[in-house]
Structure 1
């Protein structure tokens, strides 16, 4: 009986941790208090203290993980609501998305070359700015490691969200379109959740940018590998 209830306890642990950290973030809106970061740290601490193996946690955790792809698809709704605005500003938006996607992949490839990273590691982190479900498939297609790809996606998303307010202030980016494209291209789904704080338009821009970056990145990944002879 206890064994059957264990996955439910793990699901509850995840939901409650995220809910508690969201309340904390709403009260103290500092970038380093974003729920995806603080909830992850809290869960890790609990698992270590209670000596719960990661595999045991994922018995329940994989049910939450399975909701990731439907959640990404659900972002089509704000995109639909802003469809007329998107058609009016189609070329500036596509230009920003294309630059964001190219910059994201090429910058990490250049840095990997400079620091002499191993071949499998480079192939795994190239899709770091693409949303997780697509990044996993791109990394596998390139010959990289899916687990490392997931970690790199998380790091890119969290760091991008933490750095975004400072970058927007320094670069004087006040437009919701610019903020949405920046967050969506650099920080995918995590950035899109941050973009919601800047209004519905920024959220819509971020969701469409994340989707387009995933499509563009799927084709761009092999080209980047060929270009840099990785």
Structure 2
């Protein structure tokens, strides 16, 4: 089949899946119906059922992926609008993000050790709470597997989105700053998308947390590797 036609076909299929599954999420507001999670699952099942190679799907999927960069840059708009809030709460944000990055990396490392993962796999799990590009670079630098690090990042993002709202309700966290920092530092991009559902302040704080976590994690990661290996 023509490459251009395949590109449009798979890009369109991804969009249709997302729009349909997002409508279900909007209607029922059940965390497990988060569209990124359900769309990913639906696409995997579709490719397996029809025996479609991943490389063939990516002829169109890559066009969706290319929008990630502009989407991340677009986070600067609400961040700029909420700059006064950020300045007023600079210390709580900084301390919260640092604590979030530290706990996220240390918990992954300790759990991996408890389950007796190989050293290579532990070093791959370590940066799971950071955004994919940073996590992949750090994992490779530590001696881990960069491609597998991206998978752990997705798992961390999905689990943060699924359990994040429930935990915040349980702990009585109802401030925009608390929700934003919690979701951004634990579930990065997926958490930021959910934070915007609470409001622009939450989303802005989450985007700050996601960015700062990548910076803080770049320093914490090597320190933890030095301490434990």
Same fold (TM > 0.5): yes
Matched, 1:95 2:100: no
Residue by residue over 1:115-174, the C-alpha shift from the partner in whole angstroms, topping out at 9 and shown as x without a partner, is 110112111111111111222222222222122111111111111111012101110111
TM-score calculated relative to the size of structure 2 = 0.96
State the partner residue of 1:57. Answer: 57
Q: RMSD of the alignment, in Å?
A: 1.2
Q: How far did residue 224 of structure 1 move?
A: 1.2
My pick for the range that moved more, 53-62 or 174-183, is 53-62
In structure 2, relative to structure 1, the CA distance for the partners of 1:134 and 1:66 (3 Å cut) is farther
State the partner residue of 1:148. Answer: 148
In the comparison of the two structures, how many residue pairs are matched?
A: 229
Q: How far did residue 67 of structure 1 move?
A: 2.5
Residue by residue over 1:63-104, the C-alpha shift from the partner in whole angstroms, topping out at 9 and shown as x without a partner, is 222322332222111111111111111111101011001111
My pick for the range that moved more, 94-103 or 145-154, is 145-154
Matched, 1:12 2:12: yes
In 1, Cα distance between the equivalents of 2:10 and 2:25? 22
State the partner residue of 2:27. Answer: 27
Q: Within 5 Å, give how 1:63-212 maps onto structure 2.
A: 63-212=63-212
In 1, Cα distance between the equivalents of 2:123 and 2:91? 31
Contact 1:139 1:149 in 2 (8 A): yes
TM-score calculated relative to the size of structure 1 = 0.95
Contact 1:98 1:213 in 2 (8 A): yes
Residue by residue over 1:166-216, the C-alpha shift from the partner in whole angstroms, topping out at 9 and shown as x without a partner, is 101110111111010000000000000111111111111000000000111
Q: Which runs of 5+ in 1 are unaligned?
A: none
1:6 is paired with a residue whose SS is helix
In 1, Cα distance between the equivalents of 2:59 and 2:75? 27
Contact 1:129 1:153 in 2 (8 A): yes
Contact 2:3 2:59 in 1 (8 A): no
In structure 2, relative to structure 1, the CA distance for the partners of 1:51 and 1:4 (3 Å cut) is same
In structure 2, relative to structure 1, the CA distance for the partners of 1:63 and 1:145 (3 Å cut) is farther
In 2, Cα distance between the equivalents of 1:88 and 1:126? 32
Q: How far did residue 43 of structure 1 move?
A: 0.7
Contact 1:109 1:228 in 2 (8 A): no
1:128 is paired with a residue whose SS is coil
2:156 is paired with a residue whose SS is helix
In 1, Cα distance between the equivalents of 2:69 and 2:180? 20
Matched, 1:3 2:22: no
Q: Which runs of 5+ in 2 are unaligned?
A: none
Contact 2:125 2:152 in 1 (8 A): yes
